[in-house]
């Protein structure tokens, strides 16, 4: 049920984005998944409007987050919002890379996701840090609460 609610919230955010789009501001979505080369090949979505983009989920490994940064920069648009859809580290460990590349982007999540990240992040870093080595986060970025139930680009 919890996962379904988060997915609903993520898709609601994307759906809401399209609600605000005009004919001149159509949205597109590009999915980035690093595939078998990664420990957890989680997907991130780049939702692109006319002048800006939003990102859903930030990858697990630093090297995958770095590739995601390249894809975002290749759009030529400003990253305004990063939405983290789940509290597992494969969705947010890459945030330090994203934040370094796009310091003005808002990083948001549902209050429940934030609560769960705060409750588990130290243990996740302690476990995964030695496994990921240089691909572990240098610092864990905790999202800010999503205001309301949608966001726009």
Band of residue 112 on the pLDDT scale cut at 50, 70, 90: very high
DSSP string, 34-86: -GGGSSS---EEEEE-SSEEEEE---SSHHHHHHHHHHHHHTTSEEEEEEE--
Lowest pLDDT segment from 38-42, 58-62, 108-112, 135-139: 38-42
pLDDT at 28 (0 to 100): 96
pLDDT at 25 (0 to 100): 66
Contacts of 51 (CB under 8 A, 6+ apart): 77, 78
* Interval 39-76: pLDDT, tens: 989 999 999 999 999 999 999 999 999 999 999 999 99
Residue in the structure block whose two tokens are 């840090």? 129
What domains does the chain contain, in order, with CATH numbers?
2-145 (3.60.15.10)
Helix (H) or strand (E) holding 8: helix 2-20
Average pLDDT over residues 91-120: 98
Does residue 120 carry a pLDDT above 90?
yes
């Amino acid at each position: 049920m919890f996962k379904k609610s988060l997915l609903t919230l993520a898709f609601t955010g994307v759906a809401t984005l399209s609600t605000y789009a005009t004919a001149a501001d159509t949205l597109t979505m590009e999915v980035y998944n690093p595939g078998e080369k990664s420990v957890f090949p989680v997907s991130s979505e780049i939702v692109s409007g006319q002048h800006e983009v939003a990102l859903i989920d930030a990858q697990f490994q630093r090297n995958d987050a770095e590739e995601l940064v390249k894809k975002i920069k290749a759009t030529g648009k400003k990253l305004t919002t990063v939405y983290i859809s789940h509290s597992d580290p494969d969705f947010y460990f890459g945030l330090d890379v994203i934040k370094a590349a796009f310091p003005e982007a808002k990083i948001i999540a549902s209050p429940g996701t934030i609560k769960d990240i705060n409750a588990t992040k130290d243990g996740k870093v302690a476990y995964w840090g030695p496994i990921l080595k240089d691909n572990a986060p240098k610092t864990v970025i905790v999202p800010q609460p999503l205001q309301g139930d949608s966001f726009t680009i």
